[in-house]
A = this chain, B = another copy of it.
Amino acid sequence: MPPLELRIPLPPWVDATVAWDRPLRADADRMRLAIALSRENVARGTGGPFGAAVFDDASGLPVAVGVNLVERLSNAVLHAEVVALMLAQAALGRFTLGGDDSPPHTLVTSCDPCAMCLGAALWSGVRRLVCGAGRADAMGIGFDEGPVFAESYRYLAERGVAVVHGVLRDEAAGVLADYHRAGRTIYNG
């Protein structure tokens, strides 16, 4: 019989990597957390070189974090952004992180989102999307990013999602370069 239920656990090391009670307000400080998650995910052997976090912009606190779990959980949907967004919605018990009765939320990701994650960010209700490494950095080592175009970002902007690219780009791209040099799996290449 096919599986009728999925379990998606974060790797055990993740919890201790995040200071859940420490507000982070600057994009660069938040990006350091996303990059640390991406680097640690490779170092611990639990997945690809991508990390993400969702922040409550009122409190500055991280609501949830994600790392790439594609290989670990045999699930091509589990990019870092998707994991962080799903866990953030679970944390709040609601399918949107937006709405008039909610503080605004920001998704911070160590790399420009692929087509799937761009769509997931739009549906998530976050008001801002902050990116580290660029699409070219990911494509340059063989990861595909999918059909994302300039008009894709315009579509988000028209719906009230602000996007910031290139925050600590060199540091974020460095994790990708290290992963590539180590000869690790490049899926969907």
Taking Cβ atoms with an 8 Å cutoff, the residues of A that contact B are 1-10, 14-15, 20, 62-65, 70-71, 73-77, 82, 85-96, 114-120, 122-125, 144, 146-149, 151-152, 155-156, 159, 187-188
Contacts and interface: CB of A to CB of B under 8 A. Distances in A.
B4 A9 contact: yes
Contacts of A146: 119, 122-123, 155
Contacts of A114: 119, 123
Nearest to A92: B74
7 contacts: A4-B9, A6-B6, A74-B95, A116-B116, A117-B119, A147-B148, A147-B151
A10 B3 CA distance: 9
A4 B7 CA distance: 11
B87 A74 contact: no
Contact of A6 (B20, B86, B151): B86
